[in-house]
Structure 1
Amino acid sequence: MQMMERTPTMQRYSVLFLLTFGMMLPFAGYGLLADQIIVSGGRNYEDVTITGATYEQVQFKLPGVSTSQKVDADKVERLVFSRESSSLARGRGAFENGDWETAANSFKSATSMGDALKKSSAMYMHGLSLLRWGDSDATKYKEAVSALETYLNEFEGKKDFYVPHARMAISEAHRKSGNYSEAESALSSLASGNMGRRWVVGARLGKAQSLLAQENWGSCREEFSSVSNDSNASTDQICQAWIGYASAQQGQKQWKQAADTVRQQILETRNKDVLGNTAARAHGWLVWGRSTEEQAGGDAGELQWAMIRYLRAAVMASTGNGEVLAEALYRAKELAKKQGDTDRAESLTQRLKQVAPDSRWNK
């Protein structure tokens, strides 16, 4: 079933308004009176007190109940704590809004505060903020690796909840720096199965992403397909796998097939968990936009649809995915030049310089 869309003229102004004035998402953690355990494919645990968190299980207590309960860590996406320090809360708010510098600095300040659960969260998020910052300033990738390794040195032996997440993040930082052997090496402990089935899938996903970065289209498609159909994969892993698969199709110049992949698996799916993955949807719009442009053949109407899809990607990525945001703005800018729309091209150029001054897409 084809997605219903408004006409290019109707959408142009609403999308540009959002792109110009930005989007601010409230951070759900402010003012919490209890902890939360956010899970994939099920009901979240709210109004609880988290008493322990390893990569094997998360322990918690319900109000008025003295005994602890537990949930398999493979099902847990993230932990949200109540009564956090102001630095930790400020860091989470900045992270949600894509302000990586403020997030990194705030999380770093929070690493010396709170109990072990909050300290480990702050240390991991400090490294993750630097990694996301690296998408617009590649010099931050090295700092991200250093920060995440510092976290692992203190918490890996304790089986802390964020250990496998940190391993994936280190691999990503190495991959984006072009250090592919180090990227795969960072995943070896996940591939062993010692941290759970979900992270065996994570190691395969990381391998596929390294193959994609090296333009090994056939092999990476096989790996991505395997991950996307694995019952142990989380929603986020499935989304990343489908985006990777579509990106490989584009690498092989299979433009229509790539667009079909993201539409069917990400943008038009009935899976509410996938639809709730804003980062995946932003990337999906970017893939669809590029496929539309490549197939347009100079058709003005199709090029206008490509522009709309690029701008949709930019709007959705403006609060958390710097690399997709930068690429979407770059491709929209170049398309505006092709269309002879110099005012829009200049506006997009300035926006790109503002949000991603050090990005490889700022050219």
Structure 2
Amino acid sequence: MNIQIGIVGTGNFGYHHGAILSQMDGVQIRSICGTSIDKAEKLAAKFDGAKGYSHIEDMLDANELDAVYICVPPGAHGEIERELVHRSIPFFVEKPLGVDLETPRNLLTAIQQKSLITSVGYHFRYTESVQLVKKMMSACTSGITLGQWMGTMPGVDWWKNQRISGGQFIEQTTHIVDLLRYVCGEIDEVYAMFGTSATAEKDPSITVADVGTVNMELKNGTVANIANTCLLPPPMSRTGMTFYTDQGTIDWSPSRLDVNFEGTQSKFSDSMNPYQTESEAFLHAVRTGDSSRILSDYHDAYQTHRVTCAALESATKGIPIILRDDNEG
């Protein structure tokens, strides 16, 4: 029996996930939901048997879906997830979970009450290289970790709008924050500084910071710094993390892994597509109820989202923000 899939969002990631799903055995894309019927039908035409809709309720009323992929801008989260939770339909959602904490917090409570299967698109967790880093770090004493996401301004209008995107640290650099948590453990305190260096002068419609740096203290005593910028000219970019430990250094990026332990150097490259691996894990859970292969569910992703939102709060207020243990999820 084929798993019947709906996709919400007609941008690059809606198509990206759809292209992967359409090549998987036992999966059928039945419906696409967009902000307009024209956009939805245009994307639906790329997948055999799919139909376009302009409202989530219409899509769900017309189809018996086993799971839904949510690929929308950060500011569009809330209504879509609430409707899926109400109907007890498992969903995969692209990061981040929103632009603030209130909507994800309320959704998390509802998700947990339903014991609903969820997965969040922190795809780096599914790479072989990150799994290797996690294993090596478990045998080390970590000192300091430095992370970065340095690039150019994405060419979509919503990304430039702080209200819709949440800014670079919440929308993009969240991947690096998530890897820090996944590899090194939970974060106790953040102190951030964001600024506008050049982009707003060239384009007054830009309301996001174009530079930022965030210091963090982890529960295990590790300290970390994660910096980002979106002012580089295309196609320049530099993304990755360097872990400094009592055994040497681990230097990770999406394209390679370099390890220098006690004078012995080694290199590693990934061979698998992490986007496919994360979907395989999610769909396995939908089929069987076994969610053990999902490496980031909504609860876990909410912990990453708390950190990125705290960084924005810290930069806005100019003070450190302490992330105390609480009962929120």
TM over 0.5: no
Structure having the larger proportion of residues in strand: 2
Structure having the larger proportion of residues in helix: 1
- TM-score normalized by the length of structure 1: 0.28
Greater relative contact order structure (CA < 8 Å, 6+ sep): 2
